[in-house]
Amino acid sequence: MRVLFVNRMLSIERGGGETFDLEISRHLEKLGCEISHLSGIPVFSGARIQPQHPRSHMIRSPYFGWFPWDKIKGGWRLRMLDFALFEREAAKWAAAHVGEFDVIQVCELPTFVMEWKNLRMPPPVVMRLTAPDYYDASGAIKLANAVIASGATMAAVAKESRPDCADIPNGVDTEMFYPHHSTFRAAHGIATVDFVILFVARFQSVKNHAMLVRAFSKFLPSRPDAKLVFAGSGPLESEIRKNCDALGVTKSVMFLGEVAFKDLPDIYAAADLKVIASDYESFCFAALEAMATALPLVVTDTDWVPKLIGGGEGGRIVPKRNADAMCSAMSELAARPDLRAKMGRWNREHVIADYGWESSARKLHSLYNRLCNSSLCP
């Protein structure tokens, strides 16, 4: 079976949707699928993340990712235009190569689905939704041959628009993310005894880096050896750097920028604590990656994430947008290495038992087979 994954951001920025596509692709290949990827790159520059797959294709379209669309009133319209321009070009590209694929899977991309259906091309299209607050003014969700999601997103989609939405859980590679000796601290001048707090997330308002910086500024006097490490990029990074300067914590904060996926395991393994400060998360790959590395977590009360850590077995849960509560939870775990170790063990055991990629790939492969059989795919 030949599957084309279409993901606007795959060559530009790494997030949960991109991680899902790459990981599920790898495991689908183990089941005998031939996988290709189609992504976008800015008109005047190359790929920011080099392709990790031999059958990777890229098309150029205007890119406005530099614009802080989530901080400016009406900025979401520019974000939508950015994606729509790519989606139209992607549909044209896929139509020109239609004989090369049996199934197409898109990461949201409602305009692509509409264009594809208007072209009346035979390969079925599977639409993956990453958040329950999806935007679909054109009704593409109902036109897709299948819709898949996970966590809170799957529950919302099944209730609101597609009762047949398939639950394809996110997963984590527990052989890639595991507790091990890491050279990250030595490479960045961090002492063995320093207390390292890690946040892996794009710099967007929903991730609320600003709240975490405030919490860290309150926490730092009690642990002057603490380091806050940010992994990720995004339009709000410069603003967060200014926040750090204003609060006097810049020397204790590290900005790693966009990190290659292959380098993430060493960063997790070097940390003492993983935090999630988000105002919203429908699932959260970063939580699974930390759990697989046997890290304890401090997370905000964001739908599915507290469920991932067993309601508190694997970490502490604090109210959203509450820097004082975040500081208190970090302080408690910083003072309790025994509790951190216990939580870390629970997290890794839980992830190994319930969140492997292989089972998700088999479910998705079965869905593809049903679609192909019903549409007489070769």
Q: Give per-residue pLDDT as tens, 11-45.
A: 988 888 999 999 999 999 999 999 999 999 998 88
**Is 184-354 the same fold as 2-171+356-375?**
yes
Query: Could you tell me the pLDDT band of residue 253, with boundaries at 50, 70 and 90?
Result: very high
Rounded CA-CA distance 55/38 in Å is 9
Which 8-state DSSP code applies to residue 252?
Answer: G
pLDDT at 218 over 60: yes
pLDDT at 359: 87
Tell me the per-residue pLDDT of 149-178, one tens digit each, with 9 for 90 and over: 988 888 889 998 899 999 998 899 999 999
pLDDT at 376 over 70: no
Please report, to the nearest 10 degrees, the dihedral formed by the alpha carbons of residues 354, 358, 360, 366 taken in order. Answer: -140
Tell whether domain 2-171+356-375 is in CATH 3.40.50.2000.
yes
Q: For the residues of 337-360, what is the DSSP string, one character each? A: HHHHHHHHHHHHHHHHHH--HHHH
Distance from the Cα of residue 220 to its chain's centroid: 28
Mean pLDDT of 278-300: 93
Indicate the domain borders of the chain: 2-171+356-375, 184-354
pLDDT at 68 over 80: no
Structure tokens belonging to residue 48: 């920011």
Q: Which residue has the tokens 């609101």?
A: 160
Mean pLDDT of 116-135: 91
Q: The domain 184-354: what is its CATH number?
A: 3.40.50.2000
Residue 330 vs residues 23, 58, 118, 264, 281: alpha-carbon distances, Å:
31, 42, 53, 22, 20
Supply the pTM of this predicted model. 0.76
